[in-house]
Amino acid sequence: MEKSCTLLIHFDKGTPAIANEIKEALEGNDVPAKVDAMKKAIMLLLNGETLPQLFITIVRYVLPSEDHTIQKLLLLYLEIIDKTDAKGRVLPEMILICQNLRNNLQHPNEYIRGVTLRFLCRLNETEIIEPLIPSVLQNLQHRHPYIRRNAILAVMAIYKLPQGEQLLVDAPEMIEKVLSTEQDPSAKRNAFLMLFTCDQDRAINYLLTHVDRVSEWGELLQMVVLELIRKVCRTNKGEKGKYIKIIISLLNAPSTAVIYECAGTLVSLSSAPTAIRAAANTYSQLLLSQSDNNVKLIVLDRLNELRSSHRDIMVDLIMDVLRALNSPNLDIRRKTLDIVLELITPRNINEVVLMLKKEVVKTQSGELEKNGEYRQMLIQAIHSCAIKFPEVASTVVHLLMDFLGDSNVASAIDVIIFVREIIEMNPKLRVSIITRLLDNFYQIRAARVCTCALWIIGEYCQSLSEVENGIATIKQCLGELPFFSVSEEGEDTDSSKKVQQQASSTTVSSRRPAVLADGTYATQSAASETAFSPPTIVQGTLTSGNLRSLLLTGDFFLGAVVACTLTKLVLRLEEVQPSRVEVNKASSQALLIMVSMLQLGQSPVLPHPIDNDSFDRIVVCIRLLCNTGDNIRKIWLQSCRQSFVKMLSEKQLRESEELKAKAQISHAQPDDLIDFYHLKSRKGMSQLELEDEVQDDLKRATGEFVKEGDDANKLNRILQLTGFSDPVYAEAYVTVHHYDIVLDVTVINRTKETLQNLCLELATMGDLKLVERPQNYTLAPESSKQIKANIKVSSTETGVIFGNIVYETSNVLERTVVVLNDIHIDIMDYISPAVCTDAAFRTMWAEFEWENKFNMERICWKVAVNTVIQDEKEFLDHIIKSTNMKCLTAPSALDGDCGFLAANLYAKSVFGEDALVNVSIEKQTDGKLSGYIRIRSKTQGIALSLGDKITLKQKGGS
């Protein structure tokens, strides 16, 4: 059993000191050598050495020293040595130090007195302390505050000892007298703390007697007062009204620490709107006045908690919270926006959007390196505002469209997705959005933004002018055709010159002349320099536009989107253009562009040929323009839009269902007491007290006081550690709370004998660490004992707790050991379902290095044998339930019965780790499921733990 230690010093084990060397140095007269020798002795003792031969040497040569450093080290030495024998009796040689301690307590030097009093606070041996008590009490009246404050702490420590009340019978009364006359803030705080700890009634009486002067007390004393109020109000809720008045008065204290604690205490004790509003205002002031980013993040967490429980009050403070965006820290800005987005209402939406627009404009200055990320966050926030309140979209959409060509691709993607939703939800804005999009299209540099913008152009260009402008914009951004040209060099040099003159003057040779089948020479060259040099940003000239640059890098998916957009525009032109000649002209130009893209894809100019999907798509567009039917026209011009509208409605439906699920609150039990506060006596109650009573009644009536974890659910968390036939029965109730695991172990002595020195010995495996080792107990026959053990968690890796119970009996000399069952800490306690965008999921999937991938064939073979799961959707639901993850794939994408299923799952751990899962399965002809489940995360632990969990669940584990 390890002993408790109040001192921790780093020790370099590479150079151990020898006891004889230490002894020689202590016996000498050299003070620096003595100091060094004492330090070495203390470090050896802390690391398990006993050094019994040094005690007499130290008593003879160190005790008489007048050097302050040596005296301080002497007290540290006395603090850590064993002062009792195996039976717990004080060693006789300890009497030698009592006189020295008494002399130190009467020493003329204040420092020696002070450190000796501090030493007594850590002394537990009554036999040593008892003769020193008169000297300790004398120091309560010393002129120096340093000694008085330490003397009060010493009195408190002595009084808290098992026999302390016999040693100092009237200690609380004595300290109360000291408190009434004390002027030093620290000593006053220590005196009040002593009363708070040892005689709470006296502390309350003193507080209520001097309630008018609490605001004048020092910061340290005010903090103890708040702690006392919290403790009293928890035990006696009926008296919290008078204490809340004290807290309200302390909200104007000069100390920021005090007002932060006041706000937290108010929220924990009262639900009255006046109290919550005062706390929220205090947090808002701290958020703006403090420069430390860590403080701002903590305050934002408190505000977020208030937002979840008192949203109506927080709505009024939304503009104060928004001012935190002035901080350059991205984490602070992200948290601020998250809080604000939950507080927007029809009353404040215009102010919030105006503020966000100003912040977006600020990001154009380019002064800060993370402006791109901040702008992306602002765009997403504005997007959320516009979805909730479509009427504000007209004020922001045109501003955001200026960022379609943003160098931050993620920000530009957010803008175009926002535009795509707004143009469908706000028909009045379609004309202005299309016009602005066509004007700014040449600025777009990212392929993904181009594809989305082209889809918008193809779907929402309705009028004749819009369709013609759309076709013209695409042609302009593609540049001149062809994308490459073939020139022949035969014997006739004139013809060669003629061909070269027809080619663009910017043509550059891309490869050496090749011999054709008829024996002539030919070279292939691109009609633009961008074909062979990396694409350079050229502002939409006729010869080289953004679409051309992207196509010449080999992005033929973009080429397929261009073909589809042109096809839609030509089909719509047939409906709105009365002139058949113009329609045929536009159709032939579109066909020429598509054929040119196919030629470019099949030419050796580019390092990679066109992919089959893009080739087939472009060919379909060519065939469609050559032969159009009414059914095909309907599919291209109407069905695409209908699918998009359906996707948006499903998204809104999912969000509304999530909001409904969050809004569900528990109800009171049928036999619960109902209080009618209108019938209560209001005599002597302030407005704040009355509000608090009303709010408590409302909470009780709506079941808000009922905790989610009912007693019935606790039974699921109980683990049996020993067998029923063991002499000691043990079971544990495991509570996992973020970074802490609390084991509440019940130990029952099932024998007829008294068990002595019973100890619960625990060890951990994985990223778990035992905080403190439980002490020894004596267990009477057939009695029980509750033992608590705290364990710290540092990651989501699955951990194991194992150990045994060791005890002695009077009949058996040897110790008996009962081995306990292992406790496996489940990863499900650490992860919770979360939501992220598809773009964020893909980005994280590409970045994360740890992947856990396993084939389902052998696993599903077990499933097939047990005939448990043979349906794809049922299997997916089983995985989601087993892993506590969120399915990001829309339900509509999982509809139908095609024998194949692919879905993305996402979860987040309490440590901020992301867990990504991809499920790809198909049903074989024999009815079995096969495929892969792939798990990715930034750290190895969560990927392996999730893999083990899925494997266990698929094999029929629990």
CA pair distance 915, 937, nearest whole angstrom: 5
Q: Return the exposure string of 675-712: e unless at least 16 CB atoms fall within 10 Å of the residue's CB, then b.
A: eeeeeeeeeeeeebbbbbbbbbeeebeeebebeeeeee
In this prediction, residue 930 carries a pLDDT of: 80
Q: What percent of the chain has pLDDT over 70?
A: 82
Q: Is the pLDDT of residue 397 over 80?
A: yes
pLDDT tier at 297, thresholds 50, 70, 90? very high
Q: Is the pLDDT of residue 566 over 60?
A: yes
In this prediction, residue 605 carries a pLDDT of: 78
Q: Are 602 and 732 found together in one domain?
A: no
CA 710 to chain centre: 27
- Whether residue 514 is contained in a domain is answered as no
Q: Are 817 and 836 found together in one domain?
A: no
* Better pLDDT: 946 or 618: 618
pLDDT tier at 940, thresholds 50, 70, 90? confident
Q: Are 815 and 924 found together in one domain?
A: no
- Using left for φ > 0, alpha for ψ between -120 and 50, and beta otherwise, residue 684 falls in left
Q: Is the pLDDT of residue 788 over 80?
A: yes
- Whether residue 413 is contained in a domain is answered as no
User: What is the three-class DSSP state of 747?
Assistant: strand
Q: What is the mean pLDDT of residues 614-639?
A: 84
- Whether residue 623 is contained in a domain is answered as yes
End residue of a domain, out of 593, 623, 638: 638
Write the pLDDT tens digit of every residue in 764-775.
Answer: 887 777 777 777
Write the pLDDT tens digit of every residue in 727-763.
Answer: 899 999 888 776 778 888 999 999 888 888 888 888 8
pLDDT tier at 500, thresholds 50, 70, 90? very low
pTM over 0.85: no
In this prediction, residue 554 carries a pLDDT of: 86
Q: Are 552 and 585 found together in one domain?
A: yes
Q: Are 806 and 833 found together in one domain?
A: no
CB 613 within 8 A of CB 586: no
Q: Are 572 and 611 found together in one domain?
A: yes
CA pair distance 95, 99, nearest whole angstrom: 8
pLDDT tier at 152, thresholds 50, 70, 90? very high
In this prediction, residue 486 carries a pLDDT of: 58
The tokens for 158 are: 């002595």
Q: Provide the mean pLDDT of the chain.
A: 79
* Better pLDDT: 199 or 669: 199
CA pair distance 800, 826, nearest whole angstrom: 9
The dihedrals phi and psi of 883, each to the nearest 5 degrees, come to -100, -5
CA 267 to chain centre: 23
- Whether residue 97 is contained in a domain is answered as no
Q: Are 735 and 841 found together in one domain?
A: no
Q: What is the mean pLDDT of residues 454-475?
A: 90
Q: What is the mean pLDDT of residues 585-603?
A: 89
* Better pLDDT: 89 or 2: 89
Determine which helix (DSSP H) or strand (DSSP E) holds 824, and give its type and residue range.
strand 823-825
Q: What is the mean pLDDT of residues 608-629?
A: 87
Which of 341-350, 541-550, 877-886 has the least mean pLDDT? 541-550
- Whether residue 791 is contained in a domain is answered as yes
Q: Is the pLDDT of residue 842 over 70?
A: yes
Place of tokens 């791109």: 372
Which of 22-26, 59-63, 732-736, 793-797 has the least mean pLDDT? 793-797
pLDDT tier at 384, thresholds 50, 70, 90? confident
Which CATH number do you get for residue 931? 3.30.310.10
The tokens for 950 are: 């899925």
Q: What percent of the chain has pLDDT over 90?
A: 8
User: What is the three-class DSSP state of 404?
Assistant: coil
Q: Is the pLDDT of residue 516 over 80?
A: no
Which of 84-88, 227-231, 538-542, 715-719 has the least mean pLDDT? 538-542
Q: Are 610 and 465 found together in one domain?
A: yes
CA pair distance 464, 276, nearest whole angstrom: 59
pLDDT tier at 671, thresholds 50, 70, 90? low
In this prediction, residue 283 carries a pLDDT of: 92
pLDDT tier at 958, thresholds 50, 70, 90? very low
Q: Is the pLDDT of residue 952 over 70?
A: yes
CA pair distance 771, 773, nearest whole angstrom: 7
Q: What is the mean pLDDT of residues 229-240?
A: 77
Q: What is the mean pLDDT of residues 476-505?
A: 53
End residue of a domain, out of 780, 809, 825: 825
Q: Are 765 and 879 found together in one domain?
A: no
In this prediction, residue 526 carries a pLDDT of: 41
Strand partners, 190: none
In this prediction, residue 682 carries a pLDDT of: 52
Which of 374-383, 625-634, 903-912 has the least mean pLDDT? 625-634
Q: What is the mean pLDDT of residues 20-32?
A: 84
User: Which residues are within 8 A (CB) of 544 and not within 5 positions of it... i.e. 6 or more apart?
Assistant: 479, 528, 529, 530, 538
End residue of a domain, out of 638, 672, 700: 638
User: Which residues are within 8 A (CB) of 392 and not within 5 positions of it... i.e. 6 or more apart?
Assistant: 349, 350, 353, 385, 386
Q: Are 833 and 931 found together in one domain?
A: yes
pLDDT tier at 538, thresholds 50, 70, 90? very low
Q: Are 589 and 475 found together in one domain?
A: yes
Which own/partner pairs from 43-47 qualify as long-range (CB within 8 Å, at least 24 positions apart)? 43/9, 43/11, 43/17, 44/16, 44/17, 44/19, 45/77, 45/80, 45/81, 46/5, 46/7, 46/8, 46/9, 46/11, 46/80, 47/11, 47/13
Q: Is the pLDDT of residue 607 over 60?
A: yes
CA-based nearest residue to 744, from 726, 721, 767? 721
Write the pLDDT tens digit of every residue in 332-350.
Answer: 999 999 999 888 888 888 8
Write the pLDDT tens digit of every residue in 128-143.
Answer: 888 888 899 898 888 8
Place of tokens 């019938």: 679
Q: Is the pLDDT of residue 126 over 70?
A: yes
Q: Is the pLDDT of residue 602 over 70?
A: yes
pLDDT tier at 688, thresholds 50, 70, 90? low
- Whether residue 747 is contained in a domain is answered as yes
Range of the domain at 784: 716-825
Q: How many helices (H) and strands (E) does the chain have?
A: 41, 20
Residue 86: C-alpha distances to residues 96, 127, 678, 776 (Å): 20, 16, 67, 14
Residue 797: C-alpha distances to residues 251, 622, 909 (Å): 43, 55, 11
Q: Is the pLDDT of residue 569 over 50?
A: yes
- Whether residue 735 is contained in a domain is answered as yes
In this prediction, residue 96 carries a pLDDT of: 76
CA 899 to chain centre: 38
Q: Is the pLDDT of residue 673 over 80?
A: no
Return the top range by mean pLDDT from 279-288, 393-402, 854-863: 279-288
Which CATH number do you get for residue 765? 2.60.40.1480
Domains identified in the chain, total number = 3
Query: Pairing state of beta strands 850-855 and 929-937?
Result: antiparallel
Strand partners, 900: 922
**In this structure, what DSSP letter does residue 18 have?**
P
Which of 244-248, 261-265, 580-584, 859-863 has the least mean pLDDT? 859-863
The tokens for 817 are: 């050991």
- Whether residue 562 is contained in a domain is answered as yes
Q: Are 586 and 734 found together in one domain?
A: no
